[in-house]
């Protein structure tokens, strides 16, 4: 069995390792530290939670134990894709360099430039940064990278997936060609390896596990969910998530719930909080101070559920995470490995459950192809009993009216024709019956109804004038005492009574 003392590390570094309680290196550490101490480039591929950070931290500290940094010229550089991972690397340096007189600076977003400039001006041995903030300092003329001796790219595949390829290429061009480069990642796609061939010089490839494998100590499962209605899919997923949490009981001491979108992170966190769960969100749109408080609370055990986007899937070193819940199936198969790698770390047992809806089945198949084995299906706990009432189900009941009109019975066309024929025959039958039953009335001829006399033009004008003045000719209302008015009556204009010659003379 290999021990840290067999790896030729600096004695002060070994003393710090003993204080931290570590006895033996992990396979990736035992394989990567020796070539790194020799000054060779290293390409490390290992699954999440196997000690990648210490694989480059320990040899860097041993190599940097001698020498002194100059102002604005760091001696080493560590690039990380996210603020959380960069902060974790900084904590590891604090742990292992407690007996060394080395300085470090952490350059991440959400922190004042002024405070970071002060550290750089004093000179730092180790500079830990995200690519964007590092280039910001360089463009402001506050930083020089010509003195970098060791450069580390942590979570290299994630850096490239997040679109940092141009930034990384530029940063490499700003560092000396003679630098030592260390790449560490959990997955290594062919296109990533092509880029590493450009940046690394004859690297020592260290691969202690098959690419994109999950730890054997993690129990995996997936629940297939088909919503009752499309507009209820989101609420039913949240119901299922709570049912899965309740099903784990006391075994679920704490958990990380991953969502694909930031907006869903906030919605799920509010939903769990509303139902009495201790939950808080973390994603890239939150302030750095809030993200730090949330992570510190989760690490300390004050927060039980951390609802996160993929920004928290990489590099979060929380040793005792009992469960990981994938509220959404990740769109990239490699992200699944990183997500569930937050549990079952350092040989501990963990459990990862995922919810899959029909449109995510293609992504699920890609994950199983990457893992080269199927993920066990888990029964939906809501199907065994009565599902809890969702908000979508409750709203229609509140709006429903107590009195509903019964539907009219449908009548066929043949029945309609029969009813029409009967209705046409009924007056004829009644007329015949009237002739038979009342012969005297039939013998007496009824007076013929006189046709209505034609109305002349004047009468029509009189009616229109009365309507225009607000009157009505119906039922004898507003008829000036009921007398019959012929023509225009008193409303006849005077010029109409004039003869043609009199009008012409005027």
pLDDT at 58 over 70: yes
Q: Which CATH class is domain 4-207?
A: alpha beta
Which residue is it, tokens 């070994």? 14
Give the residue-averaged pLDDT of 410-433.
Answer: 50
Q: What is the pLDDT of residue 486?
A: 54
Q: What is the pLDDT of residue 493?
A: 66
Report CA-CA distances (Å) from 387 to 107, 133, 228, 237, 289: 49, 49, 11, 12, 39
Give residue-wise pLDDT tens across range 379-400. Answer: 999 876 544 444 444 444 444 4
Residue 129 parent element (H or E): strand 126-129
59 Cβ neighbours under 8 A, 6+ residues apart:
9, 32, 33, 36, 37
Report the C-alpha gap between 59 and 36 in whole angstroms. Answer: 6
Greater model confidence, 99 or 84: 99
What are residue 355's phi and psi, to 5 degrees?
-105, 125
Report the C-alpha gap between 149 and 156 in whole angstroms. Answer: 19
Which residue is it, tokens 């300085």? 103
Domain boundaries, the chain: 4-207, 218-390
Q: Which CATH class is domain 218-390?
A: alpha beta
Report the C-alpha gap between 302 and 278 in whole angstroms. Answer: 9
Give the angle subtended at the CA of 166 by the CAs of 134 and 154, to the nearest 5°: 60
Q: What is the pLDDT of residue 410?
A: 58
Report CA-CA distances (Å) from 265 to 140, 145, 226, 280, 309: 35, 38, 21, 9, 7
Query: At 60, is the pLDDT very low, low, confident or very high (cuts 50, 70, 90)?
Result: very high
195 Cβ neighbours under 8 A, 6+ residues apart:
160, 165
State the pairing for strand pair 323-326/150-154.
unpaired
At 57, list the tokens.
């931290």
33 Cβ neighbours under 8 A, 6+ residues apart:
7, 9, 25, 55, 58, 59
């Amino acid at each position: 069995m290999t021990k840290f003392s067999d790896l030729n590390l600096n004695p002060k570094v070994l003393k710090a390792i003993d204080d931290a309680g570590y006895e033996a290196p992990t396979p990736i550490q035992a394989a990567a530290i020796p070539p790194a101490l020799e000054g060779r480039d290293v390409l490390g591929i290992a699954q999440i939670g196997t000690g990648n950070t210490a694989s480059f931290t320990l040899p860097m500290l041993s190599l940097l134990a001698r020498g002194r940094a100059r102002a604005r010229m760091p001696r080493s550089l560590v690039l990380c894709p996210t603020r959380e991972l960069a902060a974790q690397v900084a904590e590891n340096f604090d742990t292992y360099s407690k007996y060394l007189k080395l300085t470090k600076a952490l350059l991440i977003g959400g922190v004042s430039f002024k405070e970071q400039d002060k550290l750089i001006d004093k000179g730092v041995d180790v500079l830990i940064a995200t690519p964007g903030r590092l280039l910001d300092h360089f463009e402001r003329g506050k930083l020089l990278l010509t003195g970098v001796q060791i450069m580390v790219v942590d979570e290299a595949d994630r850096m490239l997936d997040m679109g940092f390829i141009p930034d990384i290429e530029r940063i490499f061009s700003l560092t000396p060609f003679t630098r030592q480069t260390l790449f560490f990642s959990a997955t290594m796609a062919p296109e990533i390896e092509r880029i590493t061939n450009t940046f690394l010089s004859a690297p020592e490839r260290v691969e202690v596990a098959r690419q994109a494998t999950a730890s054997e100590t993690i129990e995996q499962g997936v629940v297939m969910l088909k919503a009752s209605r499309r507009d209820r899919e989101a609420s039913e997923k949240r119901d299922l998530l709570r049912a899965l949490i309740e099903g784990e009981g006391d075994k679920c001491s704490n958990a990380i719930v991953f969502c694909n979108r930031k907006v869903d992170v906030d919605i799920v966190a509010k939903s769990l909080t509303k139902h009495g769960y201790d939950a808080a969100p973390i994603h890239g749109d939150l302030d750095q101070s809030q993200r730090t408080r949330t992570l510190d609370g989760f690490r300390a055990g004050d927060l039980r559920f951390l609802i996160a986007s993929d920004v928290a899937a990489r590099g979060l070193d929380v040793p005792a995470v009992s469960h990981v819940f994938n509220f959404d199936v990740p769109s990239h198969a490699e992200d699944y490995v990183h997500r569930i790698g937050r549990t079952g770390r350092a040989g501990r047992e963990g459990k990862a459950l995922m919810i899959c809806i029909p449109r995510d089945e293609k992504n699920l198949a890609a994950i199983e192809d990457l893992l080269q084995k199927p993920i066990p299906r888990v029964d939906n706990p809501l199907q065994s009993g009565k599902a809890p009432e969702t908000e979508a189900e409750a709203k229609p009941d509140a709006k429903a009216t107590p009195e509903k009109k019964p539907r009219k019975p449908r009548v066929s066309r043949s029945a309609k024709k029969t009813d029409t024929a009967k209705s046409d025959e009924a007056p004829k039958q009644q007329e015949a019956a009237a002739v038979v039953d009342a012969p005297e009335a039939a013998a007496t001829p009824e007076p013929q109804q006189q046709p209505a006399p034609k109305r002349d033009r004047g009468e029509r004008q009189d009616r229109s004038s009365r309507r225009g003045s607000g009157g009505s000719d119906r039922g004898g209302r507003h008829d000036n005492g009921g007398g019959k008015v012929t023509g225009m009556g008193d409303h006849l204009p005077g010029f109409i009574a004039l003869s043609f010659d009199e009008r012409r003379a005027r």
